[in-house]
Amino acid sequence: MAAQAPPVAITGLGVIGATGRGVSTMDAALQQGREGVGPLTLWQSPLDFPVGQYRGPRLEDHLPALNLPPTSRSDMLALVAAQEALQQAGLAPPALSMARAGAYLGQSVCGTLTSEAVYIGAKESAAAGDTGKRSYAGLLVHEGANTLDLMARIFGLPGPTLNFLTACSSAANAIGLAAEVIRSGRSEVMLAGGADSLSNIVFNGFCSLKVVSPDGPRPFDRQRQGMMVGEGAGVLVLESTAHAKARGAKVLALLTGYGHSCDAHHLTAPHPQGRGAMEAMAGALQQAGLTATDIGYINAHGTATRDNDDVEARAIAQVFGDRTPVSSTKRFFGHTLAAAGGVEAVVSVRALQLGQLPQNLGTRDPEPGLDLVLQPRSAPVNHVLSNSFGFGGNNAALIFSRSE
């Protein structure tokens, strides 16, 4: 169990995904109930399942001032979100360098979409009898390290950089452990979150597992049929409270608690009693010095798969009972995989700031035992918990608290 730790300030937020680019666009989508369910258009697929795809202007158009080398779609999603977060925080390369700033990022798909295009192109050329030389430079952006290298170079980050791959809890672990870097004194500022793009192998893989819904996810619905694969990025600027105060930064919220566990029950299935999930939530509460009754809202992982929702609902009920408002935002974004904890951290901080709880969109026949937020709800809260649970029993929970 984690010991109570000093809070870390959050001074910037950035997000992009199926709701569009930017926090204000996301806010409007959550308030209006504008779902992110839509057709796959990045490539032609015989599988007719919806996805949570970013559908705005070209990603390059959001990065006009940056002299970008070859980049993947995941790279650009991360850069767009990081750029927005840094602009809100009012931090530029000179200040970031002095603060020994670094970046922790959750990723799993990384540059796979680009690598797939290289492979498909080579295969088609070979089938056509083309024996000429081909460029394989696209393979250089395959690894997640490419994203961190770009972020460090573009934003001037001399501090620690690290990729996390703990499945769907990757970004939440990146945020929680980035806070530990600040508490240790190694850095005064950290960018933390996650980014993942759609790709053939991920989309086809989840379809082959028969866990994808034909009409989009309906979290915690008794008739739910499965998840929806999505893409996006969510990035937070974390600072020591002393550093934020010294430069007069506006503190949006505080990161007060982080808990993680690995129940290692099964390669894909969670522990049926939710032991790992409960341990992660309890650890976050302990580090924050809070009790279950202090939490005013839970942003659930809520993938809308049969087993995962059952287990998460059981774990929440064990720790919090049935009086804490709960919602999943997966119908807005899709399941953004390793980025989920970053995107949902932004959602959680905005719930604190605005006193608005996002609805559990898509649910028509709610499972009993949870206080599901079925319509946007005004409810000023002081502490919000965000869950991220991944394959292999990798579980993480974050607690965000009001800064006033």
DSSP 166-230: BTBTHHHHHHHHHHHHHHHTS-SEEEEEEEE---HHHHHHHHHTT-B-TT---TTBTT---B-BB
> Which among 62, 260, 301, 383 is annotated as catalytic?
301
Across the strands, what pairs with 398?
258, 386
Is 335 considered catalytic here? yes
Is 383 considered catalytic here? no
Q: What's the gap between Cα 329 and its chain centre?
A: 11
3-state secondary structure of 5: coil
> In angstroms, rounded to a whole number, what is the distance separating the alpha carbons of residues 236 and 341?
11
> In angstroms, rounded to a whole number, what is the distance separating the alpha carbons of residues 390 and 107?
13
Judging by beta carbons within 10 Å of its beta carbon (0-12, 13-18, 19+), is residue 64 exposed, middle or buried?
exposed
> Which among 243, 260, 271, 335 is annotated as catalytic?
335
3-state secondary structure of 93: helix
Is 62 considered catalytic here? no
> Which among 110, 168, 243, 383 is annotated as catalytic?
168
Residue identified by tokens 């974004």 is 333
> In angstroms, rounded to a whole number, what is the distance separating the alpha carbons of residues 316 and 319?
5
Q: Which residues are catalytic?
A: 168, 301, 335
